[in-house]
Structure 1
Amino acid sequence: MKVAVVGIGLIGGSMALDIKAVFENVEIIGIDKNEKNAQKAKDLQLIDAIAQLEDLKQAEVVIVSVPVDVSLQVLAQVLDHVGENTLVLDTGSTKEKICESVKNHPKRRNYLAAHPIAGTEFSGPEAAIPNLYRNKTMIVCEVEKTAFKLQEIAFEIFQRLGMRIRYMDPHSHDKHIAYVSHLSHISSFMLGKTVLEKEKNEKDIFDLAGSGFASTVRLAKSSPAMWAPIFQQNKENVLETLKEYIQNLNEFKNLMEQDNFEQVYKEMANTNHIKNVLNGIN
């Protein structure tokens, strides 16, 4: 099987590693506009060869793992170059605008809209790790618009990688992911900003930072080049989640100002229920 990865960073590189591990006789070619990234991916043996868009016609599977703003242009270009029986899937964290961008493409049936719920705060080819996708969820959108024989290829890949499959429409995907992913990243970035601004005046503040701070601010190390376009594409849903989040923060602040710590306790106790929800997911 010949697989092409367009955008060889954490997501694409990790998928390349795992596909190599679970399929025999796999050749993986890589395309990246950053020549240094492409060479690094080859040096790390994430890919077997550096390729160009013209080489996609020979691939059986193409994985597009670029920032979502880039996907709006690149995905159509990829579909222009692939063969009639090539599966093309993307890994973007937004789906509605990406699906819209290729809805009238002559090779729309070659494309499967996907989003793996997996990742770390690191980026680039050197961030790729094995087993990133094991026991993770793959969201699939508009599956009915993908040729059935190509669906089968995709689902075999996902199954061998150890992933669970969940079907959603693009609008619902973007709405829900704004709450559980996009808002988390904004919270982390803004917590990091708040502490960095305080640190200008209080140099020893990071001496007091423990594991709780480290885990909460971890996502602030994520790539702005990836996340700013996500916020832009999902602006409406992100603004809705921010409005609700800010309202809850203000209510918590008001309770403290009113010395109503009995209600503060109740708010936290009620929210503790989330551990049961997350245990059910894991």
Structure 2
Amino acid sequence: MEDFKNIFVLGIGLIGGSMARDLKRVLPESTLYGIDSSENHLSEAVGLGVIDHSSRFEALSQADLVILSIPVDQANLFLPPVLDAISEHALVIDVGSTKGSVCDAVRNHPKRANFLAAHPIAGTEFSGPTAAIEYLFKDKTMILCEVEDTDTELLKKAMQLFEVLEMRIRYMNPHSHDKHIAYVSHLSHISSFMLGKTVIEKEKNEKDIFDMAGSGFASTVRLAKSNPATWTPIFKENKANVLESLTEYITNLTHFKNVLEADDYEEVYNEMENTNHIKSILKGLS
């Protein structure tokens, strides 16, 4: 881990910026460089101390560690040239929320062993360098995929880094990961966006919404504040799994609507009671 002297973060948003903040904290001797398509993001990140310097793609040959934190549909395109650009000893970690397509994109790359597919289960509804939070990853789960294809020594260094960041490690097949994350994350965002859309369309007077909204509504639509530029590529890359989860969700909504229309309040009660055990499943989840 002490070999990570020059660290490059591609994509200085919430996740990339938060990772940069934590890496500066746990690796104080390292130098953090940022690469981003937005010059404003780079200027903000340097001004906020999220990174030490802005940089360019051409400088990746100097990198010891590269964190790839860009929209998931771009990661598939950028990862191969990133691997082409790095030295033989460097490690590239992709931290996007879909893993199947990005793993497939470099399956036969000559430097596949320099790549680690990862997904930190952490975040907020905010975006950009100003959203970067120190300790965002503390006590959070880091899902790792296809670790058997990553160089043993580089994987060891990455595991040491995740340990210092106080993250829990979980191993998954990339395509299984994408299927499961569609239910517990991607579907949640769609539900939040569509609930917000439904209320906005129904309540044309915004004052009525704010006067009547309680903490339940606020917490349910919190994710609707998320950046569409981040989430549209996620839905695109994980389309098949998202559609499957949406179909099941719509089936459940339709059933609830039907039993309510039929005045079957015993079934209404049962539907909610049968779901109440989620309290024990999510107990202690931060």
TM-score range, shorter chain: over 0.9
Local SS of the residue matching 2:283: helix
- Return the TM-score normalized by structure 1: 0.97
Q: How many correspondences in the alignment?
A: 282
1:67 counterpart residue number:
71
In 2, the alpha carbon distance for the partners of 1:278 and 1:31 equals 37
1:231 counterpart residue number:
235
Alignment match of 1:180 (pick from 163, 181, 184): 184
Is 1:160 the counterpart of 2:161 in the alignment?
A: no
8 Å CA contact 1:5, 1:31 repeated in 2:
yes
Local SS of the residue matching 2:9: strand
What is the CA distance between 1:23 and its match in structure 2? 2.1
Local SS of the residue matching 1:92: coil
Local SS of the residue matching 1:126: helix
Local SS of the residue matching 2:66: strand
2:110 counterpart residue number:
106
In 1, the alpha carbon distance for the partners of 2:159 and 2:59 equals 24
Alignment match of 1:84 (pick from 81, 88, 107): 88
Higher alpha-carbon deviation: 194-203 or 25-34: 194-203
8 Å CA contact 1:94, 1:233 repeated in 2:
yes
- Cα-Cα RMSD: 1.2
Local SS of the residue matching 2:93: strand
| Corresponding letter in the other structure for 1:251 | H
What is the CA distance between 1:59 and its match in structure 2? 1.4
Q: Where has structure 1 moved over 2 Å in runs of 4 or more?
A: none
Q: Which sections of structure 2, spanning at least 5 residues, go unmatched?
A: none
For residues 257-272 of structure 1, the aligned pairs below 5 Å read 257-272=261-276
2:221 counterpart residue number:
217
In 2, the alpha carbon distance for the partners of 1:27 and 1:185 equals 35
In 1, the alpha carbon distance for the partners of 2:150 and 2:95 equals 15
For residues 1-282 of structure 1, the aligned pairs below 5 Å read 1-200=5-204, 204-279=208-283
| Corresponding letter in the other structure for 1:242 | L
What is the CA distance between 1:205 and its match in structure 2? 2.8
| Corresponding letter in the other structure for 1:182 | H
In 2, the alpha carbon distance for the partners of 1:185 and 1:163 equals 24
| Corresponding letter in the other structure for 1:10 | L
In 2, the alpha carbon distance for the partners of 1:276 and 1:184 equals 19
In 1, the alpha carbon distance for the partners of 2:189 and 2:285 equals 20
In 2, the alpha carbon distance for the partners of 1:173 and 1:180 equals 11
In 1, the alpha carbon distance for the partners of 2:255 and 2:219 equals 24
In 2, the alpha carbon distance for the partners of 1:115 and 1:66 equals 12
What is the CA distance between 1:103 and its match in structure 2? 1.2
Query: CA deviation digits over 1:14-48, x for unaligned, max 9?
Result: 01111111223121011001111011100011110
| Corresponding letter in the other structure for 1:100 | D
| Corresponding letter in the other structure for 1:53 | F
Query: CA deviation digits over 1:41-73, x for unaligned, max 9?
Result: 000111101111121111111000000011111
In 1, the alpha carbon distance for the partners of 2:206 and 2:153 equals 61
- Return the TM-score normalized by structure 2: 0.96
Higher alpha-carbon deviation: 262-271 or 87-96: 262-271
In 1, the alpha carbon distance for the partners of 2:206 and 2:49 equals 45
8 Å CA contact 1:199, 1:206 repeated in 2:
no
Higher alpha-carbon deviation: 262-271 or 5-14: 262-271
Q: Which sections of structure 1, spanning at least 5 residues, go unmatched?
A: none
Local SS of the residue matching 2:221: helix
Local SS of the residue matching 1:220: helix
Identity of aligned residues (%): 62
In 1, the alpha carbon distance for the partners of 2:285 and 2:216 equals 22
